[in-house]
Amino acid sequence: MDSYTVESTGERTEGTFALPADANRDSLSLEWVIAPKDGSSSTLSSFNNLMMQRHLAMAKTGGLTGLTAITAQATGYSNVNTENEIDLQIAENPEQTE
């Protein structure tokens, strides 16, 4: 990223930023952050507010919802319960899964 808009003033400012390595975990928020913004858009402010609310809701739960959140709270996330986690376990421990 080479420039940004100061939300409080609307001023466009230059700067260089590095994104964290795990930024791809929330692709919707990442896309929102790096997308060019049209300051004359009538929906920009509303969309930014919606994305911020969504981000804060995800941050509050760590991105976990439903049964996954209940399991994480009850077990300290010691149980594997999502398809991606099972696939990762198989890929990382082939000797245990053959």
Chain segment 10-26, per-residue pLDDT in tens: 788 887 777 777 776 67
Confirm whether 78 is domain-assigned.
yes
Contact yes or no for 12/4 (Cβ under 8 A): yes
Does residue 53 surpass a pLDDT of 80? yes
H-helix or E-strand containing 24?
none
Confirm whether 17 is domain-assigned.
no
Confirm whether 38 is domain-assigned.
no
Confirm whether 91 is domain-assigned.
yes
Residue 73 domain boundaries: 65-98
| Domain total of the chain | 1
At 26, the amino acid letter reads D
To 10 degrees, what angle do helices 44-61 and 27-34 make?
Answer: 140
Confirm whether 81 is domain-assigned.
yes
Helix, strand or coil, per DSSP, at residue 85: helix
77 band by pLDDT with thresholds 50, 70 and 90: low
Tokens read off for 54: 């969504």
Confirm whether 75 is domain-assigned.
yes
Confirm whether 52 is domain-assigned.
no
